Structures are given as C-alpha cells and as structure tokens.
C-alpha cells in the first residue's frame, strides 16, 4: 500500500469515527438522558434528607487484592455469545415498563453519561466480602429520563444469564429493588471495576451496584430494566432468581 492510500484509509477511518459520534448525539434516548442530568443532584439530595443513608465508602488503599466472582462467570445464552462476537455493537440497554418514555441506550452512550465512582464493600450471603471500586451511570438518571409513572413501585433487572439447569425462563437471573432504593445516589449501573472495563466474570457489559444490600441483589449482565407495579407475574413471582429459590427479597445489610 502506498503512503497516500494508507493516509486515505486513515482519513476514512477518522471520518467513520466522527460519523459514529454524530449518531450518538442524535439518539433520542441519549439526548433525553443528558437533559435529565440537570437537577438530578437536587432530586437525589432530597432522598438523602428523607433519611436514606449512604453506604460506607472506602479509599483505594482499602481495595481487596482479589475480588471473587460468584454465580455466573460467563453467561451461557446464545444472545450473549452473539453480542460478544459482534463486540456488543447491537447491544442496547432497554428501560421500559411503567415509564412515559422507554429508552434504548448503547454501551458508548452509557459510558458518555455523567458517572459516579464509589469504593464499597460487597457482602455475599455465602460469607465472603470484598472491597472494589465501581464506576457507572446513576440509575436515577435513567429513571428520571424515562419518566416513572405514579403507580410504579419496583424496578426489575433482567439479565443475560440463565442459571437454572433447564434453560427455561424460570432459570433466567433477575432481581428487583423498590423505588426509593432505585433513586439512591449510590445505585449505579456499573461498566467499570477498579478503573478498568468490567470483566466478563463481574458482569460485562453492565451490572447493578445497589450498596447497602447483599450480593445477590447486584444483578450482573443487565440487559433490560423494567419498571413495574408488582413482580408477582415475573418468573417465580418472588422478585428475583434466588428469591424464587427461598432467599428473602429484602436483603438489606
Ligand atoms: N446475572 C447474575 N447476577 C448475579 C449473580 C449471578 O449468578 N448472575 N450472582 C449474584 C451473587 S450471589 C453475588 S455474590 C454477586 C457476585 O458478583 P461478582 O461476581 O462481581 O463478585 O453477583 C450477583 N449477581
Ligand atoms: Mo452472593
């Protein structure tokens, strides 16, 4: 390849990149979320004043040298494998259910939103803990942009992994939290861990961090966020995969 053709190829590459950025700016969901960022601090501040305490936050010196991965370490579904093969180009986080404006956000869009970074302790019900740093988009931001309807009470997180043996919907991992915890400032959709891209074993591309709750509430591989009035009709009806298998729904620490 001559120098000139190579340069032409580089220029075309840059052009494509730019076109990609412009497309980002044009996504209605993305624009809606950016607009919602204004005044959000005020909304979450009000929650704190209403008596919702913050989970303890730590410093980098406290980070655990190793952070265990638990439950699914690599989702087994065809959909997840297809997303891996295509570099998650077609992957979208959906926010729907009892909202005025359902959202669809790509990974680059999520990463460009205002973010929060927190160093917290993860406590698994099986008796181990680890301190890690998480960066992600506040769930409150997405909820504000989507416009939660009055009768909504819970937020359900649907995941890409099926952990039952049967491959039926009953084996799909899912979780739910109540609205006040969803608006909490430390409730984020994390795409980074300890300053790097989220590893597959810890929930790539997106996992929930809902501090002040036990490990199983922290849904990994989140693909869809559904705002509901009741979770009685979802899978086993108890609000989560482990809840359907006997764990308590309210898993506060
Ligand atoms: N989708 C999905 N989320 C999940 C699980 C899982 O198996 N699948 N396991 C849960 C449990 S019990 C724990 S303790 C944490 C573990 O998170 P980690 O793998 O990042 O340590 O993820 C929780 N979220
Ligand atoms: Mo756990």
Question: What are the tens digits of pLDDT across the range 200-233?
Answer: 999 999 999 999 999 999 999 999 999 999 999 9
Q: What is the b/e burial string over 178-192, where b = at least 16 CB atoms within 10 angstroms of the residue's CB?
A: eeebbbbbbbbbbbe
* Number of other residues whose CB lies within 10 A of the CB of residue 81: 13
Ligand nearest to the CA of 200: 1
3-245 CATH: 3.90.420.10
Question: What are the tens digits of pLDDT across the range 133-154?
Answer: 999 999 999 999 999 999 999 9
Give the global pTM. 0.90
In the chain, domain spans:
3-245
The CA distance from 16 to 115, in Å, is: 26
* Interval between CA 127 and ligand 1 midpoint (Å): 14
Terminal-to-terminal C-alpha distance of the chain: 62
Ion ligand 2 — residues with CB < 5 Å:
70, 124, 215-216
Question: What are the tens digits of pLDDT across the range 100-141?
Answer: 999 999 999 999 999 999 999 999 999 999 999 999 999 999
């Amino acid at each position: 390849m001559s120098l000139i053709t190579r340069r032409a190829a580089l220029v075309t590459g840059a052009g494509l990149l730019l076109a990609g950025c412009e497309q980002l700016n044009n996504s209605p969901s993305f624009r809606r979320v950016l607009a919602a960022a204004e005044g959000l601090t005020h909304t979450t501040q009000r929650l704190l004043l209403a008596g919702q305490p913050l989970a303890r936050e730590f410093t980098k010196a406290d980070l655990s040298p190793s952070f265990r991965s638990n439950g699914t370490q690599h989702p087994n579904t065809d959909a997840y494998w297809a997303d891996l093969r295509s570099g998650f180009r077609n992957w979208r986080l959906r926010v729907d259910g009892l909202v005025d404006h359902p959202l669809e956000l790509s990974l680059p869009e999520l990463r460009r939103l205002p973010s929060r970074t927190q160093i917290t302790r993860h406590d698994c019900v099986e008796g181990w803990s680890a301190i890690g740093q998480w960066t992600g988009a506040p769930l409150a931001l997405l909820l504000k942009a989507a416009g939660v309807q009055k009768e909504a009470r819970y937020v359900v997180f649907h995941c890409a992994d099926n952990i039952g043996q049967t491959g039926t919907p009953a084996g799909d991992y899912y979780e739910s939290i109540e609205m006040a915890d969803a608006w909490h400032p430390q409730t984020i959709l994390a795409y980074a861990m300890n300053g790097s891209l989220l590893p597959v074993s810890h929930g790539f591309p997106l996992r929930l961090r809902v501090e002040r709750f036990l490990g199983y509430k922290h849904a990994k591989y989140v693909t869809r966020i559904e705002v509901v009035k009741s979770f009685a009709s979802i899978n086993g009806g108890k609000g989560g995969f482990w809840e359907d298998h006997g764990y308590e729904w309210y898993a506060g620490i």
